[in-house]
Amino acid sequence: MGSRARQFRQHLGLASATALCVLLSATVSGNGETHVQTQRPDPEFRIARMAYNDNNMMGGFGRFGGGAYMTDAPEAEFHLTQGIRRLTRVNTIDPERENPLWLVQPSDPRLFENPFLYAVEVGRWYLDDEEAANLRDYLLRGGFLMVDDFHGDAQWEAFLESMERVFPDRQWKDIPDDHEVFHVLYDLDHKTQIPGIGALRDGSTCEQCYYGGAEPHWRGYFDDDGRLMVAINFNMDLGDAWEHADWADYPQPLTALAYRFAISYALYAMTH
C-alpha cells in the first residue's frame, strides 16, 4: 500500500481533532484581532471506481461511453459522497465543486493511491492475468475492494472466474454477522436485501435472477490476518440506492441502509 493510503489510515483516528483544529484555528494579528480560519484541509478520501474490460455476458448497462462498470455513475458517487460528508468526519471531496467520479483501471499504478475501490456489475467483468496480479498485490498490501450490483448464479460464476485469477489460493467466505465491518459505526444486525429500482418496480427484490440464486449474500475474501479485503454484496444493488436517493419512488429506508453499509465499508477500509 502506498504512502497516501497509509496516511489515510493514520489520519482517520485523528479526524475529529484535525477537523476541529483546521475549522476553528485562530491567528492573532499585530493589533490583537483574532481571525478564525474556516477552510477545509485537502481531501483525504474519495471513492475510486474500477474501470474493467467487459466479458460481454448478457449485454451491459454502461453509459457515458463506458462499459458495465459505468452503471449508476456519476450519480451514485455524488450522493454517497454527500452522505459521507454529512454523516462522518471523514474529509472527502465536495461533489458540488469537484467531479466525484474517479476511474482507475486494475493495471494502473494509481490503484495503490486509493484505499477504497468500488466495482459494479462484476458479473460482467473480465480481469486478465496481469490485471488480476496487480489487484492481488493491491489487496494484500492493504487495499479494499467493494463489489456490488450482480445477480443470479450465472453472474456469480462469471465473477468467480476472474477472482480465481486474483486469488487462486483463497476461497470466499460468508461475512459473519458479528464481524467488525458491520459494527464499525452502525450496528448492521438486520440484513435486508437492497434491490435496484427496476426490481422494485417489477415487484421483486432481485433483478436478473432468472435462473435461481435470488437470496442476498454478504461475502468476502480475507487475508492471512483475518482482514476483510473484498466485500461482496451479491444479489443487491447498493449503487441504485445511492443513485436514486432523491427519487420519490425509491424507498428512503433502503437508501439509508445502503449509506450505512457503504460508510461502514469505507471506515473499515481506512482503519484496517
Q: What gap in Å lies between CA 189 and CA 135, rounded to an integer?
A: 30
| pLDDT for the residue numbered 205 | 63
Q: Is residue 15 part of a domain?
A: no
Q: Is residue 176 part of a domain?
A: yes
| pLDDT for the residue numbered 44 | 79
Domain, as residue range, for 154:
44-271
Q: Which amino acid is at 56?
A: N
| 1 compared with 160, residue with greater pLDDT | 160
Q: Is residue 7 part of a domain?
A: no
Q: Is residue 211 part of a domain?
A: yes
Q: Is residue 232 part of a domain?
A: yes
Q: Is the pLDDT of residue 251 over 60?
A: yes
Q: Is the pLDDT of residue 226 over 90?
A: yes
Q: Taking residues 30-56, what's their average pLDDT?
A: 71
Q: Taking residues 97-116, what's their average pLDDT?
A: 93
Q: Is the pLDDT of residue 192 over 80?
A: yes
Residue 178 sits in a domain whose CATH number is 3.40.50.12140
- Under DSSP, the state recorded for 122 is G
Q: Is the pLDDT of residue 244 over 90?
A: yes
| pLDDT for the residue numbered 56 | 73
Pick from 52-56, 151-155, 180-184, 243-247 the range whose average pLDDT is largest: 180-184
Q: Is the pLDDT of residue 29 over 70?
A: no
Q: Is residue 98 part of a domain?
A: yes
Using the Cα atoms of residue 164, residue 137, residue 179 and residue 85 in order, give the sign of their dihedral. Answer: negative
| pLDDT for the residue numbered 137 | 98
Q: Is residue 18 part of a domain?
A: no
Q: Residue 165, CB half-sphere, CA atoms under 13 Å: how many?
A: 17
- Give the contacts of 96 (CB within 8 A, at least 6 positions apart): none
| 152 compared with 134, residue with greater pLDDT | 134
Closest C-alpha to 237, from 198, 180, 188, 267: 198
